[in-house]
Amino acid sequence: MLRRPRVALVAAVVGLCLSMAGSAGAQTPAGPSPRVRDLLGRMTLDEKIGQLNQIPGGRQRALNSRLDAAALDRVRRGEIGSFLHVAGAAQLRELQRMAVEESRLGVPLLFGMDVVHGYKTLFPVPLALAASWDPALMEQTARVAAVEATAAGLNWTFSPMVDIARDPRWGRVVEGAGEDPYLGSVLATAQVRGYQGTSLADPTSILATAKHFVGYGAAEGGRDYDSADITDRTLHEVYLPPFHAAAKAGAGSMMTAFNDIGGVPLTAHPALVRGVLRDRWGYDGLIVSDWNAIPELLNHGIAATPQAAGALALRGGVDMDMAGNLYSAQLKGAVEADSALLPMLDQAVIAVLTAKERLGLFDAPYGRTDPAREAAAMLTPEHRAVAREAARRSIVLLKNDGGLLPLAASVRRIAVIGALAEDANSSLGSWRAQGKVEDVRPLLPALREALPQATLTYAQGYRPEAAQAIAVTASGEGAQAVVEISDADALAEAVAVVRASDLVLLVVGEHFDRSGEARSYTDIGLSAAQDALAAAVLDTGKPVVVLLMNGRPLAIPELAERAPAILETWFLGVESGPAIADVLTGRVSPGGRLPISFPRASGAAPLTYAHLPTGRPAAEDLVRDTARYRDQPITPLFAFGHGLSYASFDYSDLRLSTTEVAADGSVEVSVTVRNVSDVAADEVVQLYVRDPVAAVSRPVQELRGFRRVAFVPGEAKRVRFTLTPAQVAFWDPDGWRIQTGEIQVMVGASSADIRARAAFTITSEGVSDIPAAAIATPSSEEPVA
Ligand code: NOJ
């Protein structure tokens, strides 16, 4: 494990020495283990290249479908190091047996899949889980995913996606933890721990992949795969920290990103992959390309031939070729043409073999391929219970005028409007592994069960229809789009149902397939059909609770203005319906908080609460020329960290343990939070900092601590955070610089709801070697009178 951040009082940056948490057979500073060294020494060039070759054994929705005779022969010949899109204990046992017993050297295979938010028990989509602000919960969901996936023979997941996303036009915001590098780092750590457990060699542990290294979320215009044109500072302060946190947590693999930064694709980026990740951070895990990304170096225009592309990727530090078939076809020629590539090839093979060793595959190749365990492991009542808890904790109450929620017991006639209310398919979100629609408990039946005293009447209000295949996923499968059609009859029926009700639950948002890979949109509002429906429902004057279902922030200013209550329910997985019902009925008070800002308009993206002040900070007054849009207020629609509760909380007595701290010291920030209501509820206490004067302009706010705290009615707790100056350091090519001067501290219920402020002074200069946002802030809570 990495130790605490090293703060030097002299300007020297010492490379970090990472080690794999609890892993067997870890590489030591002395290099690979004796077994790996021995194997390497006995391998032919072809066998080495075979280890670097990952091929699809099936398709995302047709697992194992490509395991034909030719593929099996390649296994026997040692030409394959890993399969993806495969699963099933019996099938993978047989495949593993071929590799172990029928190939010359008996090297076991890695079996990978995108197990992203559950395997069979589907949890909320990652952005929703991040809204729980609950690292322990994310660790638990990742653990369940690991238990189920490994029972099905898998030993490698391409998760967590730790890309920071500040542009909701980018469809993959759904897969990550949102806009903030501190929150992202804490949650990345939790997920890696959950996937990998205490020992990677445990048969219920799965190799985690932090992806996509790096800058993928900064795609220009929010267009998936597009270039990221970001400064070194932004790269180091915003996009790299969660990767550092994942590395420090022992993530066994990393995936390079499709995009380029400043013209250099990450698939062939020696400065970042070898320079930062390997050398500076000391990362010794397995680095895999993204799907077909090595051949795509030709499209990037940095390689004229496939052979040159292979050489570039290897030089860039990519160990394994995912689905590109390029290393296997070209590396031999490349190495023969340039023997300087040979040591790099050996390094790549060492990384693959070491990952296999850490997973315990040499000693127990069939540890994860037990059909009896597979039969018993899936969607157990315990796993469903975790899914229900996760879904409840991910829900965010965005607005609740007049305390419309929770639903009063006296409400008898409820109209449920909008096709998403019965869309079990959308509840699963993107990357659903083996999640099945029939295992989802959707909203409508769950509501009927939870509200037996009420009459529920349902109307769609518009027609969702499957359109022609318009898109192709990364694995080459056609995807169906859903178009929503305004239909006068459907609308009239919905309005009639609304008129005959006392209260309306209006379920709108996006079909799940609008967010995810290659799902970038310029318009992130509601569809025209849903807009028309919402307007018609609101025009009736009935009390309306909006239930949003979506995978990205939506620009819905009118809805936010007109609807008295809005509940953000994302795509919540198999327990979606009951969890939403729990919150609507008040069995559970909503405690989720937004991990990403909601813009007022599509044209306001990208955006973040952690922006720089600029020379002309945005001002309300339009007479002044300031950094703002003239046609929108200066605030987001809903701010980062925002989320209401059925309870109310009072913050008081913010104290710092000291107001002067040396560069290598620490300061304790404590505050009393009291539940001043008669409702049991969670509050997410958030700690932000600002360096008001530094050598470079610093963000107006940066999250540096949080704690989700449970309160019974009337209860008060003292919540403590321990901050170090290294956490407010700014990036500099020579190290993370800690400067003397004032640091402002803000504590509150969201980035836009600061309840108390204080300040301390850093009294000496220093240099730290860890990205500031990747340093976790210890916190604690204790009851007070
Ligand atoms: C492409 C995606 O970018 C990546 O996240 C995923 O892991 C691979 N395809 C494999 O499915």
What is the side-by-side order of every strand in the sheet holding 503-509? 396-400, 565-568, 544-549, 503-509, 413-417, 455-459
Nearest CA to ligand 1 atom 8: 291
What separation, in Å, do the N-terminal and C-terminal C-alpha atoms of the chain show? 39
CB environment 700-739: b (16+ within 10 A), e (fewer): bbbbbbbbbbebeeebbbebbbbbbbbbbbbbbeebbbbb
Asked whether the predicted pLDDT for residue 615 surpasses 60, the reply is: yes
Q: Given this model, what pLDDT does residue 16 score?
A: 36
Q: Given this model, what pLDDT does residue 31 score?
A: 87
Q: Given this model, what pLDDT does residue 759 score?
A: 98
Asked whether the predicted pLDDT for residue 18 surpasses 50, the reply is: no
Q: Is 290 one of the catalytic residues?
A: yes
Asked whether the predicted pLDDT for residue 38 surpasses 90, the reply is: yes
Q: Given this model, what pLDDT does residue 19 score?
A: 40
The alpha carbon of 58 and the centre of ligand 1 are apart by a number of angstroms equal to: 14
**Which residue is associated with the tokens 């047709």?**
62
Q: Given this model, what pLDDT does residue 15 score?
A: 34
CA distance 157 to 253: 9
- Note the helical H segments in 434-526: 443-450, 488-499
CA distance 5 to 229: 29
Confidence of residue 311 (pLDDT cuts 50, 70, 90): very high
Catalytic residue among 134, 163, 180, 290: 290
DSSP codes of every residue in 332-396: HHHHHH-GGGHHHHHHHHHHHHHHHHHTTTTT-TTTT--HHHHHHHTT-HHHHHHHHHHHHHH-E
Q: Given this model, what pLDDT does residue 672 score?
A: 98
CA distance 142 to 116: 8
- The two tokens of residue 376 are 């018993």
Name all residues whose Cβ lies below 6 A of ligand 1: 114, 158, 211, 290-291, 474-475, 517
Q: Given this model, what pLDDT does residue 481 score?
A: 80
**Which residue is associated with the tokens 């721990």?**
193
CA distance 191 to 139: 5
Tens digits of residue pLDDT in 741-752: 999 999 999 999
| Contacts with 271 (C-beta within 8 Å, 6 or more apart), sequence order | 264
Closest CA to 433 of 231, 142, 706: 142
Ligand 1 pocket test: which of 82, 209, 322 has the largest number of ligand atoms within 8 Å of its C-beta?
A: 322
| Cut 0.75: pTM above it | yes
For the chain, give the percent of residues with pLDDT over 90.
93
Return the bridge partners of 668, or none: 722
Average pLDDT of the chain is: 95
The alpha carbon of 274 and the centre of ligand 1 are apart by a number of angstroms equal to: 22
Q: Which atom of ligand 1 is nearest to the CA of 323?
A: 10
Q: Which atom of ligand 1 is nearest to the CA of 216?
A: 3
CA distance 516 to 497: 34
Ligand 1 pocket test: which of 253, 255, 256 has the largest number of ligand atoms within 8 Å of its C-beta?
A: 255
Tens digits of residue pLDDT in 491-519: 999 999 999 999 999 999 999 999 999 99
If one counts every other C-beta atom within 10 angstroms of the C-beta of residue 632, the result is 15
Closest CA to 261 of 250, 280, 275: 275
- The two tokens of residue 445 are 């039946």
The alpha carbon of 258 and the centre of ligand 1 are apart by a number of angstroms equal to: 10
Confidence of residue 81 (pLDDT cuts 50, 70, 90): very high
| Contacts with 541 (C-beta within 8 Å, 6 or more apart), sequence order | none
CA distance 141 to 133: 13
Confidence of residue 14 (pLDDT cuts 50, 70, 90): very low
Closest CA to 362 of 353, 372, 374, 371: 353
> Contact, 668 vs 724, CB < 8 A?
no
Asked whether the predicted pLDDT for residue 5 surpasses 70, the reply is: no
Tens digits of residue pLDDT in 208-258: 999 999 999 999 999 999 999 999 999 999 999 999 999 999 999 999 999
The alpha carbon of 731 and the centre of ligand 1 are apart by a number of angstroms equal to: 30
Asked whether the predicted pLDDT for residue 698 surpasses 50, the reply is: yes
Q: Which atom of ligand 1 is nearest to the CA of 212?
A: 5
> Contact, 108 vs 353, CB < 8 A?
no
Nearest CA to ligand 1 atom 4: 290
The alpha carbon of 290 and the centre of ligand 1 are apart by a number of angstroms equal to: 6
The alpha carbon of 116 and the centre of ligand 1 are apart by a number of angstroms equal to: 10
Tens digits of residue pLDDT in 416-456: 999 999 999 999 999 999 999 999 999 999 999 999 999 99
Confidence of residue 468 (pLDDT cuts 50, 70, 90): low
Ligand 1 pocket test: which of 83, 85, 158, 216 has the largest number of ligand atoms within 8 Å of its C-beta?
A: 158
CA distance 101 to 324: 27
Q: Given this model, what pLDDT does residue 126 score?
A: 98
Q: Given this model, what pLDDT does residue 467 score?
A: 76
Nearest CA to ligand 1 atom 3: 290
Helix (H, G, I), strand (E, B) or coil at 532: helix
Q: Given this model, what pLDDT does residue 524 score?
A: 98
Asked whether the predicted pLDDT for residue 478 surpasses 60, the reply is: no
